[in-house]
């Protein structure tokens, strides 16, 4: 694995605060900036996007939206992400080892996404400036690095050059190297392997390596961080494995030969599904068979049933989002561990998704769709309602 073992320890109940007390309290203070049930209620009553803005001026977003001329869902999203990134960078600047490495790990995911976005954009011949503007600000490289990524040709040699000249210096370089090496070993011919591999497959492999690396790092940190963050990553890995299988149906990846050779390699070697579940997933050829595998795992059975029943037009993504919010909220239930930092970023992303959804619905006059979002720390979440009744 590329990452060195953590420098220093997280500390336990009695020593965590020596190095990480301040950033932890900061992020827990930031928890109060999540929109409340009342905020969401007011937002869904809005008639125009400007009303949304007016409502948000009472919230933590007011300063982020202050100097925006015309608010659109896209500009709202951009401003909100920028706000999240500012907060994250503040936390990062207050962090010392091993928390700083932990926070860097959170950003690697966005770096991988940005590299893939640039490569994909270059394939379809889009303008580089436009592409860079679309990149997630958490995963930014140096300007020169960003500009040089799309200049490499879409071939095995091009990717090897891309790795050797540009990505080798970035934190995601080791994952790319592992990918190149594995595909070389796998096909036995290092020059011609990548041409036919789609960008999505590269992305899935890089994310897989990132997840495995992150999981191992967290495991080495030990303590509450290992158990709470380990569980979040396991759930994340399982979601990826299920989604990869589900999205492969109807693509060449689902052909029997590809299933065992290529799709199998995309399943992360962490998670509740690993190893028994992911071995079973290898042979899955259609939704029905996938359902039969997930039937064996109680935590995914319910999610799968939502998808399989097809009623109430809730997609499997929505079901996963809801489950994610529920598990991420749990990270805030205990103190003196690192998982809150990851959970905060992910929950804020969910909130931004909610805001975009609400403002899009208002813009397109789709009032009956407006309540289909997953509020964060809501008093009316299904799992809280269940507990009360």
Partner 1 sequence: MADASSICKSDFCNAGWAEVLTHMSPYGFANFGVAFGLGLSIVGAAWGIWLTGSSLVGAAVKAPRIRSKNLISVIFCEATAIYGVIMAIILTNKIKEPELADSYLSANWDFNGFYYAGYGMFSAGLSVGLTNIASGVSVGIAGSSCAIADAQDASLFVKILIVEIFASALGIFGIIVGIIQSNACTFPVAAL
Show the tokens assigned to 226. 């290992």
Task: Pick the stretch among 31-39, 246-254, 301-309, 314-322 that binds partner 1 (CB under 8 A).
Answer: 31-39
Q: Which is nearer to partner 1, 109 or 329 (CB)?
A: 329
Shortest separation between residue 317's beta carbon and partner 1, angstroms: 30
Scanning the chain, the segments in alpha helix (DSSP H) are: 16-30, 37-44, 49-56, 62-65, 73-94, 99-123, 128-134, 143-148, 156-161, 173-187, 199-221, 223-248, 256-258, 264-266, 276-282, 287-294, 298-309, 316-330, 339-363, 382-388
Contact between 22 and partner 1 by CB under 8 A: the answer reads: yes
Q: Which is nearer to partner 1, 28 or 367 (CB)?
A: 28
Q: Which of 2, 6, 9, 25 binds partner 1 (CB under 8 A)?
A: 25
Cα–Cα distance for residue pair 381/388, rounded to 1 Å: 11
Q: Which is nearer to partner 1, 25 or 260 (CB)?
A: 25
| Count of C-beta atoms within a 10 Å radius of residue 283 | 12
Candidates 278, 378, 291; CA nearest to 328 is: 378
Cα–Cα distance for residue pair 53/363, rounded to 1 Å: 13
Q: Which is nearer to partner 1, 22 or 45 (CB)?
A: 22
Q: How many residues bind partner 1 (CB under 8 A)?
A: 17
Shortest separation between residue 217's beta carbon and partner 1, angstroms: 24
Contact between 333 and partner 1 by CB under 8 A: the answer reads: no
Task: Pick the stretch among 17-25, 143-151, 192-200, 312-320 that binds partner 1 (CB under 8 A).
Answer: 17-25
Contact between 33 and partner 1 by CB under 8 A: the answer reads: yes
The answer to whether 384 touches 375, Cβ cutoff 8 Å, is no
Contact between 31 and partner 1 by CB under 8 A: the answer reads: yes
Q: Which residues contact 284 (CB under 8 A, 6 or more apart)?
A: 245, 259, 290, 293
Q: Which is nearer to partner 1, 32 or 309 (CB)?
A: 32
Q: Which of 5, 7, 13, 251 binds partner 1 (CB under 8 A)?
A: 13
Cα–Cα distance for residue pair 377/85, rounded to 1 Å: 21
Q: Which of 8, 21, 223, 291 binds partner 1 (CB under 8 A)?
A: 21
Shortest separation between residue 198's beta carbon and partner 1, angstroms: 44
Q: Which residues contact 368 (CB under 8 A, 6 or more apart)?
A: none
Contact between 262 and partner 1 by CB under 8 A: the answer reads: no
Q: Which of 10, 30, 102, 201 binds partner 1 (CB under 8 A)?
A: 30
Q: Which of 154, 335, 356, 384 binds partner 1 (CB under 8 A)?
A: 335
Shortest separation between residue 335's beta carbon and partner 1, angstroms: 6
Q: Is 382 buried (19+), middle (13-18) or exposed (0-12) by CB count in 10 A?
A: exposed
Angle at 87 between CA 85 and CA 91, to 5 degrees: 110
Shortest separation between residue 337's beta carbon and partner 1, angstroms: 13
Shortest separation between residue 21's beta carbon and partner 1, angstroms: 3
Q: Is 386 buried (19+), middle (13-18) or exposed (0-12) by CB count in 10 A?
A: exposed
Cα–Cα distance for residue pair 241/278, rounded to 1 Å: 7
Show the tokens assigned to 345. 């970023």
Candidates 125, 153, 160, 128; CA nearest to 143 is: 128
Contact between 227 and partner 1 by CB under 8 A: the answer reads: no
Contact between 26 and partner 1 by CB under 8 A: the answer reads: yes
Contact between 29 and partner 1 by CB under 8 A: the answer reads: yes
Contact between 351 and partner 1 by CB under 8 A: the answer reads: no
Site residues, partner 1 (CB under 8 A): 13-14, 17-18, 21-26, 28-33, 335
């Amino acid at each position: 694995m590329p990452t060195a073992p953590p420098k220093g320890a997280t500390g336990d109940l009695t020593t965590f605060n020596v190095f990480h007390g301040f950033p932890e309290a900061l992020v827990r203070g930031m928890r109060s900036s999540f929109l409340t049930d009342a905020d969401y209620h007011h937002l869904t009553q809005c008639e125009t996007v400007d009303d949304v803005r007016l409502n948000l001026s009472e919230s933590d977003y007011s300063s982020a939206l202050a100097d925006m001329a015309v608010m659109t869902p896209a500009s709202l999203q951009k401003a909100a992400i920028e706000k999240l990134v500012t907060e994250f960078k503040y936390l990062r600047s207050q962090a010392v080892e091993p928390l700083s490495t932990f926070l860097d790990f959170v950003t690697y995911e966005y770096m991988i996404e940005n590299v893939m976005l640039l490569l994909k954009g270059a394939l379809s011949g889009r303008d580089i400036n436009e592409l860079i503007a679309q990149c997630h600000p958490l995963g930014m490289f140096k300007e020169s690095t960003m500009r040089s990524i799309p200049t490499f040709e879409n071939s095995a040699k091009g990717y090897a050059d891309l790795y050797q000249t540009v990505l080798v210096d970035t934190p995601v370089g080791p994952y790319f190297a592992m990918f190149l090496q594995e595909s070389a070993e796998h096909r036995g011919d290092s020059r011609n392997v990548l041409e036919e591999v789609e960008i999505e497959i590269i992305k899935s492999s890089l994310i897989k390596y990132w997840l495995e690396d992150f999981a191992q790092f967290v495991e080495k940190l030990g303590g509450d961080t290992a158990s709470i963050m380990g569980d979040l990553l396991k759930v994340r890995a399982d979601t990826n494995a299920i989604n990869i299988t589900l999205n492969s149906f109807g693509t060449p990846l689902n052909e029997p030969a590809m299933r065992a050779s290529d799709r199998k390699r995309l399943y992360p070697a962490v998670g509740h599904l690993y190893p028994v579940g992911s071995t079973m997933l290898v042979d899955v050829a259609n939704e029905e068979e996938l359902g039969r595998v997930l039937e064996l795992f109680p935590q995914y059975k319910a999610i799968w049933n939502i998808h399989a029943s097809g009623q109430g037009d809730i997609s499997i993504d929505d079901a996963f989002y809801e489950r994610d919010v529920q598990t991420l909220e749990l990270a805030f239930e205990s103190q003196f561990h690192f998982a809150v930092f990851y959970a905060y970023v992910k929950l804020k992303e969910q909130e931004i998704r909610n805001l975009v959804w609400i403002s899009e619905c208002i813009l397109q006059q789709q009032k009956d769709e407006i309540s289909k979002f997953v509020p964060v720390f809501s008093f009316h979440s299904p799992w809280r309602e269940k507990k009360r009744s």
